Amino acid sequence: MILSFWRRIHLILAVLSFLFLLITSITGVILSFEPIQNELSECHIGRAPDTSVSDLIVQLEKQYDEVFEVKIEENEFLQLSVITEAGDFETFYADPKTGLKIAEIEEKSRLFVFSRTLHRSLFLGETGRLTIGITAFLLLLIALSGTILIIRRQLGIKHFFKRINRDNFHQFWHVWLGRLSLVIIIIIALTGSYLSMDRFGLLPDKQKVQHSLEDELFTDTSIFPKQEFDIFQNTKLSEVQSIQFPFSRDREDYFQLKLLEKEIIVNQFNGQLISSQPIDQFTLWQQFSYNLHTGKGSLLWSIILCLASASILFFIFSGFKMTLNRMKGSKKNSFKPHKSRIVILVGSQGGTTFKFAKEFQNRLIQSGQKVYVDDLSSYEMYNRLEHLIILTSTYGNGEAPTNSKDFIERFQQIHQKKAFDYSIVGFGSNDYRQFCQFAKDVSTELDRYDTCEEFLSLKLINQQSLSEFENWCLEWTERVGIVLNDRP
């Protein structure tokens, strides 16, 4: 019952959000290439990991008459605002090692701009942002419910990373990839939810940095070259967000450095620290969440996010296929249940067992038999029933598949008008301790009744062996006296 609940929750959440997850996953794959592209640029600060602020200032003073601002912009490119030797004011991207101009400030790629807007708001403004925020939260719930289902399937958290039974292509890879990308998807969902909450003011307000500027610290004596300031020599360029240079030589003007975790004000004449204030924790968490969500600052993490976004696309496809397979099953029958001598009831989690049932049904019908196939939980009164065939898998820790959980109760309540025989085939993997346990439970239950008799002894098939099943079919038909037509 608990398993069925979580499976329904997982499916409902996926159905509610699949369209928006499809959009955000596709755009997520596209956007993951932006930080990868940025990392490869000559302007990226990652090309100068050991360069200090002092090293950069030495280069800038050689090449420009005046520097107004050094900035590490959103793409992590070094951006300079300077007056050139020709007397022109320019803002451009520069090489972080040499300070030389590399490129003009250009508009971002239209593909990335379009994808980012679609990813964040669906081009619907605040309504779209709210929708995407809810989608991120639903993705978190999908990941958590999926985790519970994997734990149940693997017979406990201790066996979480053990070998997965190959039920069918879609189910196997849905579980295998889900297990592999689980942590990454939870991080994507958590950070997406956090950023949306921050956007809509659901988190505490971020505090602006306020400096206490004491006048006695603004001295213009003991002049040192800027590149010799301790703070500049000990600060890596990779730690910087921006540096505002003093506008004039007045003693009240100063250097203002915004670093990753604090803001500092430095005397422009002697490098003395005038003020240092930490950036508040909520601002840091917001930036940390943004970097985790976008891959900013890490080539490897960007690639991982790309693969995780692509895996979500596969989960949508494979989940749809598994649901479709479950819905197919018993819906197409040539004969009504009350007119069929042979009834095949199927217990299947992912729809694979139905393929065996439908194949056997078709060959029996070609041999002139009236056969009806349905879910195990759909057991009912069958007026002409002579042979009941049960084909069932086992789910989780020896439990019934979703479409079979009501069978035993219904069998106890519904009594056929005449005696019949039954045969049971269990499908599973002997890698599991509870190999074909549900088939065994059904066999034990039916053995209690005098109104039905076991026709062939319980057959347990490992790893969905087609040859074993065909041999069983031949044995069953020979005993009944039915000659199966050759396969077309």
Segment 333-384, tens digit of pLDDT: 889 999 999 999 999 887 789 889 999 999 999 999 999 999 999 999 999 9
pLDDT score recorded for residue 486: 63
Q: Per-residue pLDDT tens for 440-461?
A: 999 999 999 999 999 999 999 9
Mean predicted confidence (pLDDT) in 184-194 = 97
Beta-carbon-side half-sphere exposure of residue 304 (alpha carbons within 13 Å):
18
pTM above 0.95, yes or no: no
**Would you kindly state where each structural domain of the chain is located, as residue ranges?**
1-40+110-205+285-324, 45-94+208-279, 329-480
Q: Tell me yes or no: is domain 329-480 CATH 3.40.50.1820.
A: no
Q: Which of 272, 259, 276 is nearest to 229 (CA)?
A: 272
Out of 46-55, 128-137, 397-406, 454-463, which region has the weakest mean confidence (pLDDT)?
Answer: 397-406
Mean predicted confidence (pLDDT) in 162-171 = 75
Q: Is the pLDDT of residue 276 over 60?
A: yes
Q: Per-residue pLDDT tens for 82-116?
A: 999 999 999 999 999 999 999 999 888 899 999 99
pLDDT band at 56 (very low <50, low <70, confident <90, very high): very high
Mean predicted confidence (pLDDT) in 233-248 = 94
One-letter amino acid identity for 228? E
pLDDT score recorded for residue 146: 92
